[in-house]
Structure 1
């Protein structure tokens, strides 16, 4: 995986971290982030913890899953869960009333699927972005099809792209759900790593 120079998190991008094997293999979405009492980062998919993990560096994770950059305030000993409903991270907390429900890390399902999108629609995805070698930076909608691209020119050859079902694109990059709902034909959405949101531009 390539490394991102952006560092919003309270750690060196060279720090070793643990990543769920299923997340790293793109079999599960990254929906749970924990920090142990020593401050080590653990990135996981849905299911019971602990899960089998692989060691990599924090910069590689930030590069492959940009939505983790929003966790700059996650402190050692705490955890955050991705909410498909609110489209963002929610923190675990200590309940004092005995009636609170802790957030649970889950996979994308029909209940949380946006009605504007067809989960089986095919999306053209740049293979280097899909694998995490490049950061996903652009969502382009032209000629009736959506393309998910890394940095650089908007045009790609067919051998640089893979066809991926819409549902799996969103599982791969949870922070793209609302962007994919709003992208307009003839326009480009570009990820802003500083403000952590998508900006719209007319495609050229």
Structure 2
């Protein structure tokens, strides 16, 4: 049994993922469950969009911030809020003056001022593609690296240079960790508590 599994829907359940999100051309910013409870994961823009079927476990592995949606019920939808760094529920406004969350790409207004979007980070290719989960962010004198499970040693051929803006678009839940990251420290994702923990690099 997977004790870290947070969602009420079984991990082997079939789900739909926006083609652009799967191809890493767009961030995963909207999640919807239809009247039968089937999950759909979308990028910015109007829905429905072209999508492919995969398993829910694969989505959670590739986009860990999805695991925070344990309360998303059948018929519900949630949108990633770049300003609040978390999910916001879509709802029907009764008064006409509510500010609805919008599934959008990150913009300058939401971008943290202390982070430079063009900074190049080193990202493990297997994590970038979703083959393994992103587990660690480390800061060394040589730069910042984002890694999957295992020790921190990687050969150059396993890594890819990625602009910080695209790292955050790929993994929206990394914003706070990247803001807090100090040199010679690491941040490890805790799938149980759905947060990052700082540690000192050996």
Q: TM class, shorter-chain normalised?
A: over 0.9
Report deviation, 1:94.
Answer: 2.2
2:111 corresponds in structure 1 to: 113
* Structure 1 CA distance for aligned equivalents of residues 3 and 16 of structure 2: 20
Per-residue deviation at 1:95? 1.5
1:131 corresponds in structure 2 to: 129
1:147-169 CA distance string (max 9 Å, x none): 00001001111011000000000
Which residue, out of 95, 98, 114, partners 1:97? 95
What is the DSSP-based 3-state SS (H/G/I as helix, E as strand, rest coil) of the residue aligned with 2:189? Answer: strand
Partner of 2:78: 80
SS at match of 2:65: helix
Equivalent residue number for residue 200 of structure 1? 198
User: Which residue among 136, 156, 159 is the counterpart of 1:158?
Assistant: 156
Structure 1 Cα separation of the partners of residues 46 and 175 of structure 2: 25
1:43 corresponds in structure 2 to 41
- Give the CA deviation at 1:74: 0.1
Aligned-pair distance for 1:6?
3.3
SS at match of 1:168: helix
* Aligned structure 1 segments of 4 or more residues deviating by more than 6 angstroms: none
What's the C-alpha RMSD, in Å, of the aligned pairs?
Answer: 1.0
Q: May I ask how many residue pairs the two structures share in their alignment?
A: 201
Q: Hey, what does 1:31 align to over in structure 2?
A: 29
For 1:49-60, list aligned pairs within 5 A. 49-60=47-58
Name the SS for the 2:16 alignment partner: strand
Instruction: Kindly indicate whether the alpha-carbon contact (under 8 Å) linking 1:5 and 1:59 is maintained by their aligned counterparts in 2.
Output: no
Give the superposition deviation at 1:144. Answer: 4.2
Query: Does residue 187 of structure 1 match 2:177?
Result: no
Distance in 2 between residues matched to 1:84 and 1:15, nearest whole Å: 28
2:142 and 2:131 map into 1 onto residues whose CA distance is: 27
TM-score, structure 1 as length reference = 0.96
Q: How does the TM-score come out when normalised to structure 2? A: 0.97
Q: Is there any run of 5+ residues in structure 1 with no aligned partner, and where?
A: none
Distance 1:176 1:14 in 2: 26
CA distance in structure 1 between the aligned counterparts of 2:27 and 2:3, rounded to whole angstroms: 23
